[in-house]
A and B are shown apart, each in its own frame.
Chain A
């Protein structure tokens, strides 16, 4: 309770309490989660020399936490009509060029294995492509008013961490007699072997970024409305997620956006969430601030 109150007080520039908060925050890092008060409307991007490389970096303790209550994606079909993940705890650090967000939410089940009827945990961060007074529709933007999206998937995280690109990585007891590209005629010729392998996976042959295998857990997109999500060249963003029995803690790093608004989304694979079936926020203001002087 008190720490939670502490959080909401961060907005009220009270130096003494701030120190108490820090102490408690350190003591109870990742611990106390119950029902924080709404944080007002902002996510504070604390300026630091160096951005953390992991969601577990102690540096995060310095950053104030914004607790965002998540909304249903009930705007376009397929709609999310059931509240699953209720809230998202967000912290942000920036170094003048890039901004790192840490998204944390409750999710005891780690959904990282894809399959029929199996969906993956994930989260995303969306900013308007252009700075400006009027914001695009928060659900994927709208025609002519693009949004930039940084998407992290638990499945990609597992691949980035080295999950083998073979059936047995998903089904340990599975048996397959033969793949055409494994025939002796192709041994010792990796390139034509790869080409042959991709023949049977058109999505890969066509360079569909969803088709794996991959080394990055995130993907950058542009969108101008629902169903228009389009990957774009990586502009140096990256991400990393860690799961503990309570839930996910995900680091998302990207260049400082032009706009000072961000919208967030979370997918819970165990709840069958994918694509438009997700929990999301509306636009949240971003504010840069210096760390309090010691």
Chain B
């Protein structure tokens, strides 16, 4: 008998079976059927049904995913056992049609992204809001009848925000509390008595005066980015309008005197507005649908991380490139999009205006500009008086009245009422403004006379001939006096001379040669270059200078207003005017409610708009020394109550967040939030209304986009509500109803009649019928299509949309005084600021040099008000003063200067761009998305210190980190200007400082130049609760034990270093701009068009090592230890990088 058995024996015994011997490993014992080769056969495959079964779904439905990313994707939801298990694209965008049957192609499919695919985590996850919650202290305050101190402020013991307990209540109870709080607060601050209390609370006189005695004016509302829900989100402004009824009840005033609440801005609040666009074009923004790149030859992707922020439309860029378009990427790092560039320039942050001027310099110097275009479309030939620095007007020379207008501009007779915005065809101006502006003049060199130029005379109608562009002339005025004038062209050319290629290289870091070549390339074929600017340059203080300079470059090369040659600004989705019939809904007159669904509403606006940047600035206007720099039309009111939806950005992710929660919130008496996901805003709120997710909407809604041609419906969905939630719009109706009960006024309830009847479509159809590009569509049909996953096309003038197309094609005037692209700003505020010319100003904080300096040599047209004139010490560089500190230096002087904190180690620019892993309403905080965010994702959380399965980190140039003894993956402290950040008064307030100071990982990132550090935006910051969770939970998660809020930082956030910045040129009462809706022109403040935008990318920081990056603080972070990280490469890794593992040899 054989007991032992060797390999040799085994093989011998098997050799009989020949090759089959090796297949022994696959003999099936239970059937003795030999699988000689699983490449060829496998006997029992019934098990495969297991995956077929997993693939199955019971039914599917369509819903619209619309975070503020401009894409708006109709998605299919797949349901199994009543659970939404999976999401996918509808693949039917290629069937979208307009009213005439024009169609786009399936190249628009698929539309979805990883955040949309992961929505199930957000709809079902532990932070999903499953009902209504009220802060226990607030509940007690309401139940106690709103007890107040002598100053009028509520007693402190009721306001332990961020640390308090939460109580679950019904929507009905919550609505009652909100209604009674709104009423009580409005009553408290109405009239003389109210004004006195506000004075006692140290509000600015101007701010108190702006109330006009109406307590309702200190109630602030915000439907975040209303375009993302034209009834659901915009409804908050309708609610604000209805508060005129409350004002009537409180002050016993009639409709003519009654005032509603205040509505915060959106596009400008998000620093998405490019504020120079209205300065040049007179309207909100110029942009083009992204598919337009198909029709251009060169695409300048400028401070825009296109492939990470415009993901479903990134293929247009890569496909245009494939087909031969040149892609030029200008960024302050080797960005994701840089990896798709044919040419890449890495520049210094916040110097875009200088770079555009540098490019213009080459074009002007070498006379490569499109002369015809600038004569037809720009103010460059217009004369400017050197005595007043105002443009020379026809009546000053000829004594004549402004000439009549006939080219698509209509002057309204005094008292004539404007037609509804949607129906307006011509540009409308009041008689008064027409008189004020008059006509301009240009100098005809052939006849040596100056000739008038009206706003009619643009494009083909332009009469500008042999115009004087360079040099100056003496012009004889009607009164006989003479005045020396220079054309705008000449003033600008002289200024731009400063930005020669070498200076441009030193200032912007863009290599001189590259600048010259690029300038010549753009000028070579006018009208074939698309300038796609992103959020990067937009988020610096000098944003308006950037726009004005870029437009100059674009205009010089004939690249404004053409399908294949245009300027675009890409940040946020904002143009509510795409539904310019919206006033039908938001401004329905609450005193004359239209209950007949077949009739249009009667419109009257009782609410007032306000820039949230004042709330962000502690409810103060900008005062520097003796000077008040906030215009009357911009003046804010105190913020006493806030109710918002779809908008974590107004509180949880607010710029200067920690100053807001520590120094601003204590003066606000009610904060109510509509949400479906527990955000940092909820952490700091008093009342949270749990609302439907997009997948559960029971009321349809509309949206559209500035980057694609689609008109989109949020269809009602068959998915039953998963938790105790209501639609946002139902919550509005409910609170209104409660106000009605409290005031015995039925109109509150009637105002939302069609919502309560489940006929929201009535409001939507009114909007469609009264909007320029949607009239002709039926809401029912649109929704039916949407349920099938098919959107419609906007009937805009063109598809793809291109702002400026009508101007260039129909010789239609721009929305400016002259009807032309205006590069010279003659208004007092601009002259004072030294920005009557498109200048470059250094960033207000993020610069290695003296901040906010106007970079200019001596120039006769730059005569700004200097600090002394405002009564401040020229040496005062404090953040606040800096905002209006007009100091002129040429590059040579500036180069020798330094940032005031440089000597104290604050030597890193800290900027916070958006990234692929998060969008406004879908941040980087669901497990599956988070774990793929950056280098520190780990679902198993081996390192207990990690606040979540990923965490915030700062990107540093490895050489910078080394100098500070910071290793890759280490934890670091990031400290901004200690004067006022993370919040004023942090010294001596350890309780708040401990969750406010930014602590995060550092990553060695070779893609950023030295001195420039980056932290991605859209992370959830630390709160007292997240810090408590991290300390008390066994697993160390930064999760609030009371609310489940999940922080992604151990302490602080990307907003620890930001602050509220106010720029004087964005607060004028004189800038001319088109109304938000329709074609009429006006002046001064306009939300989302002419108002402050802040500067969230401005911060110089100090970085210090906190803890080693190795697991639980021991040693090096493992990937660095392994030698596979930048700066830590092992010999093998170096070989790998050089491709040396393969020994290719020369083919003989």
Contact = CB atoms under 8 A, between A and B. Distances in A.
Asked whether any CB of A lies within 8 Å of a CB of B in the complex, the reply is yes
Interface of A: 74-77, 79, 133-135, 137-139, 142-144, 146, 167-168, 171-178, 180-186, 192, 195-196, 199-200, 202, 205-206, 222-230, 261, 282-283
23 contacts: A76-B24, A133-B1, A135-B2, A138-B3, A138-B4, A171-B942, A173-B1036, A174-B939, A174-B940, A175-B948, A181-B83, A183-B83, A185-B82, A186-B82, A195-B81, A199-B53, A202-B54, A205-B50, A222-B30, A227-B27, A228-B29, A230-B29, A282-B3
Contacts of B939: 174-176
A137 B29 contact: no
A198 B7 CA distance: 41
A201 to B, nearest CB: 9
4 closest Cβ pairs, A-B complex: A228-B29, A185-B82, A202-B50, A227-B25
B5 A139 contact: yes
Contacts of A139: 5, 10
B81 A225 contact: no
Contact of B10 (A76, A134, A196, A205): A76
Interface string B538-573: 000000000000000000000000000000000000
A133 B4 CA distance: 14
B47 interface: yes
Contacts of A200: 54
B50 A146 contact: no
A137 B28 contact: no
B27 A228 contact: yes
B462 interface: no
A205 B121 CA distance: 24
A182 B1035 CA distance: 21
A35 to B, nearest CB: 22
B24 A226 contact: yes
B749 interface: no
Contacts, number: 135
Interface string B11-28: 001000000000011111
Given A137-B13, A185-B722, A227-B25, A75 B6 contact: yes
Contacts of B525: none
A228 B3 CA distance: 21
A133 B3 CA distance: 11
Nearest to B1036: A173
Nearest to B29: A228
Given A225-B24, A226-B25, A173 B940 contact: yes
B1037 interface: yes
Q: Among A134, A137, A173, A222, find the residue whose CB has the most chain B CB atoms closer than 10 A.
A: A173
B1049 to A, nearest CB: 16
A178 B84 CA distance: 12
Interface in B899-933: 926-928
B1000 interface: no
B1137 interface: no
Interface string B112-132: 000000001100111000000
Given A133-B1, A134-B2, A224-B32, A177 B126 contact: yes
Contact of B47 (A76, A142, A180, A202): A202
Contacts of B126: 177-178
B81 A196 contact: yes
Q: Among B5, B121, B722, B941, find the residue whose CB has the most chain A CB atoms closer than 10 A.
A: B5
Contact of B926 (A137, A177, A224, A229): A177
B397 interface: no
Contacts of B80: 180, 196, 199
Given A137-B13, A172-B1035, A196-B80, A225 B27 contact: yes
Contacts of B82: 183, 185-186
B949 interface: yes
A284 B246 CA distance: 96
B835 to A, nearest CB: 49
Contacts of A176: 927, 939
A118 to B, nearest CB: 13
Given A74-B7, A75-B10, A139-B5, A175 B941 contact: yes
Interface residues of B, number: 49
B85 interface: yes
A71 to B, nearest CB: 9
Q: Among B10, B84, B942, B1035, find the residue whose CB has the most chain A CB atoms closer than 10 A.
A: B10
B334 interface: no
A180 B119 CA distance: 12
Q: Among A175, A178, A195, A228, find the residue whose CB has the most chain B CB atoms closer than 10 A.
A: A175
B677 to A, nearest CB: 11
A82 to B, nearest CB: 15
Contacts of A167: 940
A193 B91 CA distance: 31
B548 to A, nearest CB: 46
B927 A171 contact: no
Q: Among A74, A146, A186, A199, find the residue whose CB has the most chain B CB atoms closer than 10 A.
A: A199
A180 B941 contact: no
Contacts of A282: 3-5
Given A177-B121, A178-B125, A185-B722, A283 B941 contact: no
Given A171-B941, A172-B1034, A173-B1037, 7 more contacts: A75-B5, A76-B7, A139-B5, A173-B941, A192-B81, A202-B47, A202-B54
A206 B3 contact: no
A177 B1046 CA distance: 11
A133 B2 CA distance: 9
A293 B641 CA distance: 95
A202 B49 CA distance: 9
B1035 A180 contact: no
B1141 interface: no
B251 interface: no
A223 B10 CA distance: 16
Nearest to B48: A202
B927 A177 contact: yes
Contacts of B949: 175
B944 interface: yes
Given A180-B85, A196-B83, A202 B51 contact: yes
Contacts of A205: 50, 53
Contacts of A178: 120-121, 124-126, 927
A176 B10 CA distance: 49
Contacts of A177: 121, 124-126, 926-928
Given A138-B3, A225-B24, A228-B29, A173 B51 contact: no
A192 B83 CA distance: 11
A185 to B, nearest CB: 4
A224 B940 contact: no
Contacts of A138: 3-5
B591 interface: no
B723 interface: yes
Given A173-B941, A173-B944, A184 B10 contact: no
Contact of B7 (A75, A142, A199, A228): A75
A75 B9 CA distance: 9
Contact of B32 (A77, A144, A283): A144
